[in-house]
Amino acid sequence: MLFFCNNIVKQVHSFKLLGVIIDDDRKWSMHVNTICSKESSRLHFLKVLKRCSLSTSDLLYFYASAVRPLLEYVCPA
């Protein structure tokens, strides 16, 4: 057991730090799966917007503001 300020520190298998999921086995699979899930829903919403006859510039704006940042965040790591 590990104590910090007279409190027991629990052991966890994964945790989220600044939007990045860190596993105890130091693999990226859980983080990548979470990002893919979020991207899937946002790309579906982009498809819905296209079906609503939104202009190309508006679709690009949505992609640049909602989809792309999620893909590029923590990419260098």
Amino acid 46: pLDDT: 96
In this structure, the strands spanning 7-9 and 2-4 are antiparallel
**Selection from 30, 5, 3, 7 nearest residue 17 by Cα:** 30
**Residue 52, pLDDT score:** 95
pLDDT of residue 63: 95
| Residue range 19-46, pLDDT digits in tens | 899 998 888 889 989 999 999 999 999 9
- Given this model, what pLDDT does residue 4 score? 87
What would the pLDDT profile of 59-74 be if each residue is shown by its tens digit? 999 999 999 999 888 8
Q: Is the pLDDT reported for residue 77 higher than 70? A: no
